[in-house]
Amino acid sequence: MHPVIAEFSQYVLVRRGLSEQTVRAYTSDVRDLLDFLTLSNTNLLAASLGDLREWLAHLVENGASSATLARKGAAIRAFYAWATEAGKLEVDPAARLITPKAANALPKLLSEGQTARLLEHAEKVASETELPQDLRMWAVCELIYACGLRVSEATGLNVSDLDLSQRIVRVIGKGNKERIVPVGKPAAAALQLWIVQGRPPLLNAAPVGKAPTAALFLGQRGGRWDPRDVRERLHRLAAQASVPDIAPHGLRHSAATHLLEGGADLRTVQEILGHSSLQTTQRYTHVTTDRLKSAYRLAHPRA
């Protein structure tokens, strides 16, 4: 890795406390900019505002979405702000860089009935095969939905973070913020079976001489489970269960929506999801209001 990028990566990880996933994304975005600038023999620390705008235009021409542009713009602004503060630059070229705002649209959601069908299918497969990977898939789906977790939060859990006697889980979210979330009975049952029956065979699959991992969810080689594999398996599970295609983040958003529709207040949902701002949680009220209006139009004779 370019030395300056490596230094920036360490800064945002240690000093700013960003998650490893965000650090990887920021690092990748700065490296993309470096590759672009290299084509015109421009040094990363010698780039002008015009160079940065040309890079964004290049991304647009190659089909980048507004969400991608917003994220890459945030990464570049963070990099040059750090470089300026660290004395590597006299003037921040990204200070006036404007990128489009990401659309504030929620991912696809499942209805309560569709979610139940997905989870029931995961349980059915796990009970029929009793294979570690199927027990694991059932457990992680139940946990993400029960607790409204991000997939990175679920795969980042250690066994010690889970207290099944109290039915709570300790979650480290964005910015290394800790929260305690209750775990429902179905999720607790799936997790108990995974820990007792599914996890040990994968733990034994670790290479000889490697120290056992404390991770709650293990991959096929005994290490921590990769979030990308969770996504791929969930897409397949949704197809098998004959429900609309869903990603782990969509399952998290489904949980938030169903909580609000069930009568939970915004503050409670905010705490469960680990949102730093109540405004982020308020997005879900638009979903529930839209559903309310739809039901009203269909049912009320004067609608």
DSSP string, the chain: --HHHHHHHHHHHHTS---HHHHHHHHHHHHHHHHHHHHTT--GGG--HHHHHHHHHHHHHTT--HHHHHHHHHHHHHHHHHHHHTTS-SS-TTTT---PPPP-PPPP---HHHHHHHHHHHHHHHHHH--HHHHHHHHHHHHHHHHT--HHHHHT-BGGGEETTTTEEEEE-GGG-EEEEE--HHHHHHHHHIIIIIHHHHHTTSPTTPPPP-BSSB-TTSSBPPHHHHHHHHHHHHHHTTS----HHHHHHHHHHHHHHTT--HHHHHHHHT-S-HHHHTHHHHHHHHHHHHHHHHH-TT-
Distances (CA, A) of 174 to 12, 65, 152, 171: 13, 23, 10, 10
Residues recognised as catalytic:
150, 174, 249, 252, 275, 284
Which residue, 236, 217, 245, is CA-closest to 139? Answer: 217
Contact 9, 26 (CB under 8 A): yes
Say how many residues make up the chain.
303
Is 118 in contact with 250 (CB distance < 8 Å)?
no
Here the tokens at position 271 are: 């705490």
Residue 67: predicted pLDDT: 83
Residue 105 is predicted with a pLDDT of: 64
Query: Tens of pLDDT along the chain (303 residues)?
Result: 689 999 999 888 887 777 777 888 899 999 999 999 999 889 999 999 999 999 999 999 998 888 889 889 999 999 999 999 999 999 999 999 988 776 666 668 899 999 999 999 999 999 999 999 999 999 999 999 999 999 999 999 999 999 999 999 999 887 778 899 999 999 999 999 999 999 999 998 877 767 668 999 999 888 999 999 999 999 999 999 999 999 999 999 999 889 988 888 888 888 888 887 777 777 777 667 777 777 778 887 777
Tokens for 66?
Answer: 């507004």
pLDDT at 177: 84
pLDDT of residue 184: 93
pLDDT at 245: 94
How much is the pTM?
0.73
How far does the chain reach from its first CA to its final CA, in angstroms? 61
